[in-house]
Amino acid sequence: MNKRILTLCLALAMCLSLIPAQSFAVSAPKQAVIKEAPVAGEMAFNRGGLGLIEAKDGTRYLIDRDGGIYRSGKAWMDYMAGSGSYIVNGEGYYEYPMGRTMFTMPEMEKNVKAFLQEHYPMGEVVSVQSEITYPFSGPYATCSFSAAMKSDDQLEKYEFYALIDQSGLVHYVTPLIALTAGGGFPIEMTLGSGSEGLVRFTKEYNDREGEHYLYETGYLDLDGNEVLVFSNNDGRDPEDPAIVIDASDVAFIGDFNNGVAVICNNRQKESLIDRSGKVLLPFTHDSIYNDCGRYPVVYDEGKGYGYMDTAGLIVIPQQYEDAKGNWDDLFTVQKNGKWGVVDTDNKPVVPFEYDFMSSPELGIVYACKGNKAYIIRFEDAAPEEELTPWGTPRVSSIFKDVPAGAWYETYLQAAYENGIVGGKGSGRYDPSGNLKHGEIMVMVTQLHALAKGEKFQPAPNPTDHWARAYCDYCKAEGIIDSRFDNKLDAKVTRAEMAYYFAHALPDRYYLEEEDVSLMDIATEEYGGDILKLAKAGIVTGYDVVGTNAKQFRPSRLVSRAEAAVFVTNLLGAIGPTGGVY
């Protein structure tokens, strides 16, 4: 049994981080596996591997790469799968993939109303209405609001933007703009959706003819502090710590992606800037679209669409009618009115026969033709070449639904190589799927056996549940009692997971290395188990915005990707020798 454990994780992560950026990356050839989706569709979108299909009648379906339907309806939905959430317009924000309601729009509006009443005591806040809502990008989402405030029997209307956290609480708001005030040229401030820890802002003022003029634009950090500002304001404080650049030749800027953002000058030519505001390329291109993967899309009249790297080197020739995005050296492009996918050699991987196609994020494309929707997955044509530095197969080549470089890949590598976790058949690990009691019983069994220097092999019993032998082992070893006997296929909460993992090993393995305080476990049935794991550094809590406190969120379900992290932390407690029971 391979017991490199945490050393493997750290070394592999270091090896991957030392790979230099390249204009033309070398990757294994890809082959497309195409299957029809369970829904009809005319348009298809992809955010982090989660698909949004829109049918001819306006019905929208949120589906995963296996065709599972998470939500359907005629309300607009938007999402950022990496943030674990999606939004339904007019309704609220929801967790993905579990579907739990994070907060509703009325709840968010109530929180905004309370924030205004506390911080802007200009009168009674009569009403608050959400206007523009964005999905979460990291811990926050940007939303715009209108509010009616009453003072001295006068009703005043305002507009503003707010940064909302994942509880629906207000982090900060932009200055309120009075809509019913007369005279003057108020400065209007808007916020972008935010990316890479920066929130894009724009300040404009409008004249009496309604024309808007750029005043300042730039980026705020997540606390609302200005970091980089393009300004026409000569009266700024010279002691301001923000980087300030003259905005006389700036028309607009975009969000950051891969450390760069698009900037457009007053001649409507575009370039890229870094986080210091340095212009990286000459202003020669008509359009650059940067929020689409590793390589920006570039367009010039008379040439067409293609892809370039951030140094301006063309990666895919500008010979296409449109382009959507790229992933792992696969590029979505349009030719003769039809969409397809090409590789870095500009050779078709998916034929040009689709009416609509998404970007190829995380090895998946959603496409439509003839009112049918399709799920297109990409697999390595030579997976045997995908090895770790030690010559063992990488889990990203073993499991076709584990992307190379995924945040949990190194943890899963250690858990898999030590025989603690396995797949779900058909080359799948199902990282976003919910962990079930039968599955965690297998993990706990193998961890316990590893600490004893053993390997548990259940006797085949086709007449019983596949996990029954593991359940019986755990009870016989005193790890668990019979409370979960009839829940082998039920989903595991974080609190229940703590119960399993806190009893998987003898107490001496759980060293109290952390000074931990979790505000939501005092009345929790498994509070002692949670605290035991937290003090040992095996589990962590979630930061509570605006405080130094942490929550464990015991009722939240556990994904199979998260389970690999916790397993690897327990492997670290056992140690590289395999433990001495």
Tokens of 134: 């964005």
Return the half-sphere exposure (C-beta side, CA atoms, 13 A cut-off) of residue 184.
Answer: 9
Pairing label, strands 50-54, 101-104: unpaired
Q: Give the model's confidence band at 195: pLDDT under 50 very low, under 70 low, under 90 confident, else very high.
A: confident
Would you say residue 170 lies in a domain?
Answer: no
Q: Which residue, of 290, 318, 337, is where some domain finishes? A: 290
Q: What is the pLDDT of residue 20?
A: 29
Please confirm whether the linkage preceding 403 is cis (ω < 30° from 0). no
Average pLDDT on 269-298 reads: 94
pLDDT for 546 equals 67
Whether 384 has a pLDDT exceeding 70, the answer reads: no
Least confident of 109-113, 214-218, 333-337: 214-218
Residue 563 lies in a domain: yes
pLDDT band at 491 (very low <50, low <70, confident <90, very high): very high
Report yes or no on 475 lying in a domain: yes
Assigned domain for 25 exists:
no
Question: CA–CA distance from 60 to each of 56, 76, 358, 365 (Å)?
Answer: 9, 7, 15, 17
Question: What is the average pLDDT score of the chain?
Answer: 85
For the ranges 18-27, 63-72, 114-123, the lowest mean pLDDT is seen at 18-27
Domain boundary among 274, 290, 306: 290
- The answer to whether residue 321 sits within a structural domain is no
Given a cut of 50, whether residue 1 has pLDDT beyond it is no
Domain boundary among 268, 290, 312: 290
Which contiguous run of DSSP H or E holds residue 215?
A: strand 212-220
In this structure, what DSSP letter does residue 509 have?
G
Instruction: Specify whether 537 is located in the same domain as 400.
Output: yes
Distance separating alpha carbons of residues 525 and 570, to the nearest angstrom: 22
The pTM is what? 0.60
Asked whether residue 316 is assigned to any structural domain, the reply reads no
Question: Does residue 480 fall inside a structural domain?
Answer: yes
For the chain, how are helix, strand and coil distributed in percent, rounded to 5?
20, 35, 45
- Model confidence over 435-486: pLDDT tens digits? 999 999 999 999 999 888 888 888 777 778 999 999 999 999 999 999 999 9
In this structure, the answer to whether residues 271 and 401 fall within a common structural domain is no
N- to C-terminal Cα separation, the chain? 17
Average pLDDT, stretch 82-97? 82
Q: Using the structure block, give the residue that is written with the tokens 């590793």.
A: 294
Residue 411 forms part of a structural domain: yes
Confidence at residue 26, expressed as pLDDT on a 0 to 100 scale? 37
Q: What is the total count of domains within the chain?
A: 2
The one-letter amino acid code at 323 reads: A
For residue 260, give the 3-state DSSP assignment.
strand
Instruction: Provide, rounded to the nearest whole percent, the portion of the chain with pLDDT above 70.
Output: 87
Structure tokens at 36: 């029809």
Q: Domain range holding 483? A: 382-574
Q: What is the pLDDT of residue 523?
A: 86
- Say whether both 420 and 564 belong to one domain: yes
Domain identity same for 413 and 285: no
pLDDT in tens, 24-75: 333 456 788 999 999 999 999 987 778 999 999 999 999 888 888 888 999 8
